[in-house]
């Protein structure tokens, strides 16, 4: 396993493909790499759900997901509810922010109103890089449990 910063250093500025499917260089590819390289778990149970919105919505159906992660819903009016470095952030469909499938990225840092995350394919067609976001459209995040 590697650290979050080693992960960023390895993938920053690159287009990453995890499973060599017909949908190249998606945010999910970066998510699966993060699971394998940083969290140290097999991404396969998370691959069957296809897109970020479905992974979030079907979390309890994923084998060992609750053993590996704490699922934290975004409570838009709770200023104490903030993502932390290393959390996996999920967006649902939100016009002007994401497409129908949502989005997933890794939190680098967050405040009460903004998130800096490590993303791929945001905006569409972009390589891996840091992106500034608001919490608009954020469904919540998965926080890896101590291993």
pLDDT of residue 78: 60
| DSSP H or E run through 46 | helix 44-47
Total-model pTM: 0.93
User: Which segments of the chain are extended strands (E)?
Assistant: 69-73, 88-91, 103-110, 114-119, 129-134, 138-144
Nearest to 86 by CA among 61, 69, 73, 66: 69
pLDDT tens digits, one per residue of 121-140: 999 999 999 999 999 999 99
Determine the Cα angle at 47 with ends 46 and 51, to 5°. Answer: 95
pLDDT of residue 89: 96
How many separate domains does the chain show?
1
pLDDT of residue 90: 96
The enclosing domain of 86 has a CATH number of: 3.90.1720.10
Q: In angstroms, rounded to a whole number, what is the distance separating the alpha carbons of residues 92 and 40?
A: 26
Residues of the chain with pLDDT under 50: none
Domain coverage including residue 78: 4-144
- Paired tokens of 20: 């060599």
């Amino acid at each position: 396993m590697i650290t979050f910063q080693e992960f960023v250093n390895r993938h920053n500025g690159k287009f990453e493909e995890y499973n060599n499917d017909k949908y190249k260089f998606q945010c999910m590819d970066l998510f699966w790499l993060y699971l394998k390289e940083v969290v140290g778990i097999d991404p396969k149970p998370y691959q069957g759900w296809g897109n970020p919105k479905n992974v979030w919505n079907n979390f309890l159906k994923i084998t060992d997901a609750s053993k590996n992660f704490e699922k934290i819903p975004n409570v838009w009016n709770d200023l104490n509810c903030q993502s932390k470095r290393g959390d996996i952030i999920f967006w649902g469909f939100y016009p002007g922010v994401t497409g129908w499938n949502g989005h997933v990225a890794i939190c680098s840092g967050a405040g009460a109103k903004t998130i800096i995350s490590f993303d791929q394919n945001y905006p569409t067609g972009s390589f891996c890089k840091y992106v500034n976001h608001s919490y608009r459209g954020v469904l919540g995040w998965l926080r890896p449990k101590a291993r």
